[in-house]
Structure formats: C-alpha cells, structure tokens
C-alpha cells in the first residue's frame, strides 16, 4: 500500500461513521503502542471537564480511585464465584483498604460542595447523587468489614459474591450520574454521550481488562463518537473556555492510534 492510499484511508476514517478496522493488533503492539494512547485520551478527557465552573476539584481523583476497585472485583469474581470464602480474604481486605481511601475523598468532595456559594439546581442534584454514593461506600465497606471479621474468626458464612459485586458496581453508576450533573446544561448531552459511549467502555475493556480486541471490534462506533464530540464542540457550538487544546490533543492522539488498524 503506497503512502497516498494510506492517507486516503485515514481521511475516510476520520469523516465516516461506517468504517471497519482492516487489521487486528497483536497483544505486544497493543501493550506498547495502543494502550498508552488510550490512557492519554482518557486522562485528557477528565482534565478537560474539570475546567467547567463548579466542577469539584476532587471528582477526578475520586473517579480514579473507584476505577482501582476493578481489578479486585475481577479477582473476587474468579476466585469466589459463588460464596465468599477464605480464598477471597486478601481481596476482601484489599477492597476494604481502597474503600477507606474512596470514603475520605468522597467526604472532602461533599464538604467542598456543601460550602459552595454557587450552588444551583444542577449542583444540588449532583450533591444528592454524591450523598447516595457516599452512603453506598459506607454500606459496602461495613459489609466487607463484617465479612473479614467472620473469616478471621473462622466463622462460616453464606455471603454471596454476586451481591458484593453488585454493590461495588453501583458506585460507578452513582459517580457517572453525578459527573454528568456537574456539566453545564448546554453541553451536558454531548458529554453524556461521550462518557457512556467512549470513555466508560474504553476504561472497562482496554485500560483495565487489557482486552486488545475490543478496539478492533468497536472502532466504528468509537471513531464516530470521538469525532462527533470534536465536531460539536469546535464547529457547532462555542468551544468551552480552555478546552480547545484538550480537544485537539485528544483528536490527534486518536488519529495516531488509527494507523495501527488500517
């Protein structure tokens, strides 16, 4: 394939929502070249939305800490698929330690927003969601504390792994819903679509699960979503203050990644 052919393919990819990857990427190439680019795009996104007025300064840190639960959840799911038992003790204690950190950041965020002089309807809605998040953290941590105590004491229990995993998964739901509420109304739907159709699936499938086939299989929809956000915020609407450089970097990162699939 000559250089002109490659350029034409890339141009077609950038402006089409109906493109399919032409080649898969091996695990080594994925680890060395693809995943760092994806991680960069995700980091750029969170730094970008933190520029919105009244966006909590602890929100990004909270999201990052919640994401660290994923590896332990996967270990818990595979080690104790039915009931919690002694084989899961280390993982249970790891989750407890991480939830302590999450709880401390959550309390800082709640304190920050409760003292804010600029609270309005959207912020109050986000504050209610974050209060529910904080209560959920406390609930699942108490559950794990009790589970750990029983395991240490050698007391048998019938705690189902499913319900613990479900409670932990709900933390992601709460924080995603709250995040969207902190985005100004005129941009909310644009960022909601990008969050749930690009950021979240990439976090789950690439950054955490190292599922290197996910991008190849879903390049069509992911390409459409990131181009839609870029077009909307740079062509159709006024670019939010300070976000132009982030959008440009994210788009350039994405374009550099496409060359591995065409």
My answer on whether 94 and 194 are in the same domain is no
> Considering the chain, what percentage of its residues have pLDDT values greater than 70?
87
What is the number of other CB atoms lying within 10 angstroms of the CB of residue 255? 16
User: Over the stretch 193-242, which tens digit does the pLDDT of each residue have?
Assistant: 999 999 999 988 875 556 778 888 899 899 999 999 999 999 999 999 99
Q: Are the C-beta atoms of residues 163 and 169 closer than 8 Å to each other? A: no
Same domain, 116 and 178: yes
Question: What are the pLDDT digits (tens) for 122-135?
Answer: 678 898 999 999 99
Same domain for 177 and 58, yes or no, is yes
Q: Which domain holds residue 211?
A: 1-52+184-262
Q: Is the pLDDT of residue 8 over 70?
A: no
Whether residues 95 and 70 share a domain: the answer is yes
pLDDT at residue 203, as a whole number: 87
End-of-domain residue from the set 132, 157, 182: 182
List helix spans (H) across the chain.
3-14, 27-29, 35-49, 59-67, 69-79, 89-114, 121-152, 161-181, 185-194, 200-202, 212-231, 244-258
97 and 175 in a single domain? The answer is yes
Dump pLDDT digits (tens) for 38-52.
Answer: 999 999 999 999 999
Tell which of 147, 166, 182 closes a domain: 182
Q: What is the pLDDT of residues 20-70, one digit of tens each?
A: 566 788 888 888 899 899 999 999 999 999 999 889 989 999 999 999 999
Q: What local confidence, expressed as pLDDT, does residue 14 receive?
A: 46
Average pLDDT, stretch 156-181?
93
Which of 129, 159, 182 corresponds to the end of one domain? 182
What's the pLDDT score for residue 115?
Answer: 54
Domain match, 91 and 174 both = yes
> 149 and 73, same structural domain?
yes
Q: For residues 84-111, give the mean pLDDT.
A: 95
- Residue 195 and residue 175 share a domain: no
103 near 140, Cβ under 8 Å?
no
pLDDT of 15 over the 50 cut: no
Q: Which neighbouring-strand residues pair with 160?
A: 83
Q: How many domains does the chain have?
A: 2
137 and 27, same structural domain?
A: no
Asked if 141 and 209 sit in the same domain, the reply is: no
Same domain flag for 62 and 104: yes
C-alpha 134/C-alpha 102 separation (Å) is: 9
User: What is the Cβ-side half-sphere exposure of residue 212, based on CA atoms within 13 angstroms?
Assistant: 18
**223 and 141 in one domain?**
no
């Amino acid at each position: 394939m000559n250089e002109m052919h490659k350029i034409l393919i890339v141009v077609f990819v950038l402006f089409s929502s109906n493109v399919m990857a032409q080649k898969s990427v091996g695990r080594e190439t994925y680890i060395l070249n693809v995943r760092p680019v994806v991680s960069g795009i995700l980091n750029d996104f969170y730094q970008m939305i933190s520029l919105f007025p009244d966006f909590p300064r602890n929100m990004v840190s909270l999201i990052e800490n919640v994401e660290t639960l994923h590896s332990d959840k996967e270990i818990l799911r595979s080690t104790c698929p039915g009931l919690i038992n002694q084989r899961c003790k280390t993982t249970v204690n790891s989750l407890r330690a991480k939830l302590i950190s999450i709880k401390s950041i959550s309390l800082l965020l709640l304190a920050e927003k409760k003292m804010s002089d600029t609270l309005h309807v959207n912020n109050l809605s986000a504050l209610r969601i974050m209060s529910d998040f904080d209560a959920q953290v406390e609930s699942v941590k108490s559950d794990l504390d009790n589970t750990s105590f029983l395991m240490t004491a050698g007391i048998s229990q019938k705690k189902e792994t499913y319900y613990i995993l479900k409670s932990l998964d709900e933390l992601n739901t709460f924080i995603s819903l709250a995040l969207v509420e902190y985005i100004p109304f005129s941009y909310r739907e644009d960022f909601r679509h990008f969050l749930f159709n690009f950021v979240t699936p990439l976090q789950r499938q690439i950054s955490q699960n190292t599922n290197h086939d996910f991008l190849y299989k879903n390049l069509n929809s992911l390409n459409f979503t990131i181009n839609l956000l870029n077009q909307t915020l740079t062509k159709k609407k006024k670019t939010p203050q300070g976000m132009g450089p982030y959008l440009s970097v994210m788009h350039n990162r994405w374009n550099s990644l496409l060359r591995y699939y065409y």
